[in-house]
Amino acid sequence: MRQATKATQQKSRLKTLVASLLGLSIANPSAWAADEEKSLDAVVVETSRNSQMGIADSANAGVVTQKQLEARTVYRAGELLEATPGLIVSQHSGEGKANQFYLRGFNLDHGTDLRTTVDGMLVNQRSHGHGQGWTDLNFLIPELAARLEYKKGPYYAAEGDFASAGTASVLYADKLEQGIASVGFGQNGFLRTLLADSPKVGNGNLLYALELFHNDGPFTHPDDYSKLNGVLRYSEGNAANGFNVTAMAYRAKWNATDQIPQRAVDSGLLGRFDAIDPTDGGQSHRYSLSAAWHKSTAESSSDINAYVIHNKLDLFSNFTYFLNDPVNGDQFAQPDRRTTTGINMSHSWRGPWLGRQSENTVGLQLQNDNIFNGLFSTAARQILSTTREDHIVESSAGAYFENRTEWTDKFRTVAGVRGDYYRFDVNSDNPANSGKASDNIISPKLSLIFGPWAKTEYYFNIGSGFHSNDARGTTITVDPKSGSPVDRVTPLVRSKGLEVGVRTEIIPGLQSSFALYRLDFDSELLFTGDAGTTEPSRPSRRYGFEFNNYYKAAKWLTIDADLAFARARFREFDLVGDRIPGAVEGVASVALAVDNVGPYFGALQLRYFGPRPLIEDNSVRSRPTATLNGRIGYKINPKMRIELEGFNLTNRSDSAIDYYYASRLASEPPGSSTQDIHFHPIESRSFRLTLTANF
């Protein structure tokens, strides 16, 4: 598949690579162009995976190409991010809710510490009604994804809030090679249609895409998840010199089967796919308008993208059933309505420094969120009482500087520093919880890269990062339910990372990387949206390793094989124990993709994430989860293909997520509570058939 490769964070490294391919002298930068003002042409690469040798700053960074993304079998849109080695994307409620993420020893909840962007727009939502860093990727259309760029750890000056565990950046295509018309149907009420194309208009291309989607899932009370999704983009030029303007619109509604207690299933009271409160669920919409501009010359490059996003969510959940209200039940609503504006600007210039080839980059990132959210007690989605209502204005400014210098043919450095300033303004229905707060943080970064020797590079990375806490936690003084005094949280919580790694291509066709890392947090302070209060936790430390492999075994066969393990502990002693509840330990995945076998193509992928501690003393643990997904397809002609996808092919009865907490069923004595494992099941075996025509 042909793909225009955009130089983002490593423009000089890509240009060095292209120069060598073209036979230009790197010692003479003017060879790039006879005229200093001449812009670079687009570079087209025919490959399924980009080599990162001589480009990446660490063993944990990479690019997943469009061809590789197309080979993946995804049950839900957010699972496209699982192309990031070591990342698990799950769900613990209805399909319209933000996904659950696991990475590097974290249960990342709905996105905290995994910075996710689509075309430069931050997806993580700050000070959200349900959870800090809420990352709803249901508006993603996989067929439009030109590539996925990922990094892990706090080592990158351009990455700010939520990026300590990692970042995942999806970039949409400016134009499609050919139009797409597809229709899919399957078990459990699955139906999907997609129409997309990018015809020539004026001096550019007008890309459009319209998606209609419905799915019930295997649940006794069907999800009835319906979404309408659209994209409209006009672009001119190319990835190095050009611009685009994009409008996106997404609307959805759904029912939710939230996690259920293990005791109810064991006793036969509930089946695995039953719901306790059938009125759980929600509806949401996301509308955005964005623009991006890129300019590159032989000596410099500039990038600007700006966006405005309007999000609205009405979410209804019930995790404890009848524990707090034996009559009406414990359902609660967490509405969130916000308008987010942001702009990201960067400028890089290249030239000699101390007699060495060097590149400097400066960047500025501004964001403002105007938020209205709250927490309400409800029954069958009808409000019974108000716990709290808030109007929040959260603003931030981040600036960074980064220097890349090639000291010798076998040694280069990347040194950077980032500064962030946050301002919080909370207007609460309880004046005692209103107020203003601000905080700032400086985050230095350093990467040392050695090699290559025998097609092998070595890396040392050290850096500091942060995540922001919910604005309501920075001004709170009293518990909104009990009225008891509570402590405010630190607005910006520091993380510190250290990593050594190696990347090799010494075996023809095989790209491998191995990394050992340590990641510390000063505190995993969180705002608990389900209770309307803040819960501070102790400082934490995670050790781990990741081993990633991509092998082009034959013209018709590629293999991805990834393995990761993490040890997560609280650093301060407490009698309750030092384990971090929900922290993922072992993760593994193997994916095989087959193509160019006559008219046939297919894929098979196994993913595994191991048992996890559910409480601090490790006396209660979850079971491991494994799924096997696959697909087989047939190319009817060059313009038409049909494919059959299968999910959970072995029909395992595993959990998508497990929690351990107290709840009460309606049949249990009033005033009682039972500590129990509460789980959300993975979906049972199901199949989907899709017919796709290109035009």
Q: Half-sphere exposure (CA, 13 Å, Cβ side) for 462?
A: 2
Q: Structurally, how many domains does the chain consist of?
A: 1
Residue range 471-526, pLDDT digits in tens: 999 999 999 988 899 989 999 999 999 999 999 999 999 999 999 999 999 987 65
Q: What is the per-residue pLDDT for 47?
A: 42
Q: What is the per-residue pLDDT for 481?
A: 87
What torsion do the CA atoms of 78, 81, 86, 91 make, to the nearest 10 degrees?
Answer: 0
Cα–Cα distance, 304 to 348 (Å, whole number): 12
Look up residue 82 and give its amino acid. Answer: E
Q: Is the pLDDT of residue 17 over 90?
A: no
For residue 114, what is the enclosing H or E element?
strand 114-118
Q: Could you tell me the two tokens for 74?
A: 């995804």
Three-state secondary structure call for residue 19: helix
Q: Could you tell me the two tokens for 445?
A: 């970064």
Q: What is the per-residue pLDDT for 31?
A: 33
Q: Half-sphere exposure (CA, 13 Å, Cβ side) for 214?
A: 9
Q: Is the pLDDT of residue 1 over 50?
A: no
- In the structure, what pLDDT confidence band is assigned to residue 50 with cuts at 50, 70 and 90? confident
Region 1-14: mean pLDDT is: 40
Q: What is the per-residue pLDDT for 441?
A: 98
Residue range 203-231, pLDDT digits in tens: 999 999 999 999 999 999 999 999 999 99
Q: Is the pLDDT of residue 27 over 60?
A: no
Q: What is the per-residue pLDDT for 530?
A: 52
Three-state secondary structure call for residue 475: helix
List the domain range (segments joined by +) for residue 227: 2-694
Cα–Cα distance, 49 to 51 (Å, whole number): 6
Per the prediction, the chain carries an average pLDDT of 91
Lowest mean pLDDT among 96-105, 135-144, 443-452, 527-536: 527-536
- Main-chain dihedrals φ then ψ at residue 66, nearest 5 degrees: -60, -40
Largest CA distance in the chain: 84
Region 164-193: mean pLDDT is: 97
- From first CA to last CA, the distance across the chain in angstroms is 16
Q: What is the CATH number of the domain that holds 316?
A: 2.40.170.20
Cα–Cα distance, 308 to 346 (Å, whole number): 19
- Sheet strands side by side (includes 674-681): 260-261, 674-681, 655-663
Residue range 125-138, pLDDT digits in tens: 999 999 899 999 99
Pairing of strands 640-647, 2-4: unpaired
Omega cis (within 30) before 611:
no
Which comes out higher in pLDDT, residue 469 or 41? 469
Q: Is the pLDDT of residue 49 over 70?
A: no
- Main-chain dihedrals φ then ψ at residue 364, nearest 5 degrees: -135, 130
Lowest mean pLDDT among 38-42, 273-277, 349-353: 38-42
**From its phi and psi, is residue 321 left (phi > 0), alpha (psi between -120 and 50) or beta?**
left
Q: Is the pLDDT of residue 22 over 50?
A: no
Cα–Cα distance, 69 to 168 (Å, whole number): 14
Cα–Cα distance, 509 to 419 (Å, whole number): 41
Does the model's pTM come out above 0.85?
Answer: yes
CA angle, 491 as apex, 486 and 492 as ends, to 5°? 140
Which comes out higher in pLDDT, residue 10 or 354? 354
Q: Could you tell me the two tokens for 657?
A: 């997520």
Which comes out higher in pLDDT, residue 2 or 393? 393
- In the structure, what pLDDT confidence band is assigned to residue 453 with cuts at 50, 70 and 90? very high
Q: Which of 172, 117, 8 is nearest to 367 (CA)?
A: 117
Cα–Cα distance, 626 to 645 (Å, whole number): 17
Query: Residue 368 contacts by C-beta under 8 Å, 6 or more apart in sequence?
Result: 340, 341, 342, 393, 394, 395, 396
Q: Is the pLDDT of residue 430 over 50?
A: yes
Q: What is the per-residue pLDDT for 354?
A: 85
Q: Could you tell me the two tokens for 563?
A: 């393995």
Query: Residue 28 contacts by C-beta under 8 Å, 6 or more apart in sequence?
Result: none
